[in-house]
Every structure is written in C-alpha cells, then in structure tokens.
C-alpha cells in the first residue's frame, strides 16, 4: 500500500500540468526539490486545517476551487463522461453543504472537524472509480431520487408555476406604478 502511494506520488511529479509547472519554477528559484516543496505545502495545509483560524474557509476553498476548474474543463471538452463525473460531484457537494448547514452547529466543535471534512471532500473528488461522490450518488442519492422522482417532479412543477405567476404579478404592479408616476 505504501509503495503504491509512493509510486503515485513520484509519478505525479513527472506529469506536465499547472501544479508541476509551478513547482518546477519554485524548484528553479529556490534550489529545493519540488517533491519537498509539495510535501511542505501539504503539511502546512494539514496543520492549518487541524489548528488554524479560518480552517473552514480553507476547507471550503479546497472543496470548491479544483472541482470548479475541473468542471469548466469538462464543459469545454467533447467528452460526456467528465461532465457526468463533475455533475455527480456537485450534486453530492450540494447535499453535503445543506446537511452541514444543519449539523455544523454541533460538528464544528469536534476536534479536527475541518481536517475530516477536507479529507471527505478530497475523497469525493479523487480521480478513482470508488471516489466518494460516485459511491454516495450510486448508493444513496440515485436510489432515493428514483423512488421519489414523481413527487419531486410535482413539487418542481408546482413551484415553477407559482414563481412564474408571482413574477408576472410583480411585473404588472411595477408597470402600473411606473405608468401612474408618468401620468402625474
């Protein structure tokens, strides 16, 4: 297991991407190997998530920044599979965010909560077939949705009809007020 992680870690630095390019520039300027720079940066982030002020913001940035970038890349590609992968991530991320809103008042007091949350979000975006978003979507979200799809469709249809009629009503009132002001 440790050998596999070490091999993947070393293979990552041989890839050509934005992160490795940036690390190569830092390596050139500092003389410190990019593996050590990356390990140091990851260690600092981990310690900050454990003990730092504002760990919530850092954790949310980690859960948002890369997935947003990858989602934009997926949208711009011709491959449908990457679109589906990132749509599933955002569905799970959204459900997690709503659940967290209600449970955060209790959970944030737990030691290392933000480190755990960050690990969960990293698992949800991990480039493996058993990543968290795929597992949660396949085992929880999809079966629940398929079981209650008709009820969800009725609620959405009802709400969209009410929203449309409210918007029309507001627009009519606005035009009526606007015309009455012009006639004065």
- Decide: residue 89, CB within 10 A, 0-12 exposed, 13-18 middle, 19+ buried: buried
Supply the DSSP string of 17-79, one letter for each residue: SHHHHHHHHHHHHH-S-HHHHHHHHHHHHHHHHHH-TTHHHHHHHHHHHHHHHHHHHHHHSS-
Task: Give the lowest-confidence range in 26-30, 35-39, 179-183.
Answer: 179-183
Per-residue pLDDT band at 183 (split at 50, 70, 90) = low
Report the distance separating Cα 145 and Cα 130, nearest Å.
Answer: 21
Query: C-alpha angle 92/98/104, rounded to 5°?
Result: 115
Report the distance separating Cα 71 and Cα 84, nearest Å.
Answer: 10
| Whole-prediction pTM | 0.68
Q: Where are the alpha helices (DSSP H) in 108-131?
A: 113-125
Task: Give the lowest-confidence range in 5-9, 31-35, 60-64, 98-102.
Answer: 5-9
Torsion over CA: 9, 20, 80, 146 (sign)? positive
Q: Residue 181: is its pLDDT beyond 70? A: no
Task: Supply the pLDDT for residue 132.
Answer: 93
Q: How far is CA 132 from the centre of its chain?
A: 12
Per-residue pLDDT band at 184 (split at 50, 70, 90) = low
Contact status, residue 86 vs residue 70, Cβ threshold 8 Å: yes
pLDDT in tens, 117-149: 889 999 999 888 888 999 999 999 999 999 999
Contact status, residue 62 vs residue 46, Cβ threshold 8 Å: no
The mean per-residue pLDDT over the stretch 76-85 comes to 90
Which residues have C-beta within 8 Å of that of residue 63, sequence separation ≥ 6?
A: 93, 117, 118, 121, 124, 125
The DSSP code for 16 is -
């Amino acid at each position: 297991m440790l050998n596999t992680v070490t091999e993947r870690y070393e293979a990552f630095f041989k890839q050509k991407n934005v992160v490795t390019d940036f690390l190569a520039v830092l390596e050139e300027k500092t003389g410190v190997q990019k593996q050590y720079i990356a390990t140091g940066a990851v260690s600092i982030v981990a310690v900050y998530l454990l003990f730092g002020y504002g760990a919530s913001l850092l954790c949310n940035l980690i859960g948002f920044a890369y997935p947003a970038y990858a989602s934009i890349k997926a949208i711009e590609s011709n491959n449908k599979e990457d679109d589906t992968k990132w749509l599933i991530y955002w569905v799970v991320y959204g459900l997690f965010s709503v659940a967290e809103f209600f449970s955060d008042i209790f959970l944030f007091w737990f030691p290392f909560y933000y480190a755990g949350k960050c690990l969960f979000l990293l698992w949800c975006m991990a480039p493996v077939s058993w990543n968290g978003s795929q597992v949660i979507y396949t085992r929880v979200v999809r079966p629940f949705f398929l079981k209650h799809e008709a009820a969800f469709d009725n609620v959405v249809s009802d709400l969209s009809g009410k929203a449309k009629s409210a918007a029309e009503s507001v627009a009519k009132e606005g035009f009526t007020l606007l015309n009455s002001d012009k006639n004065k």
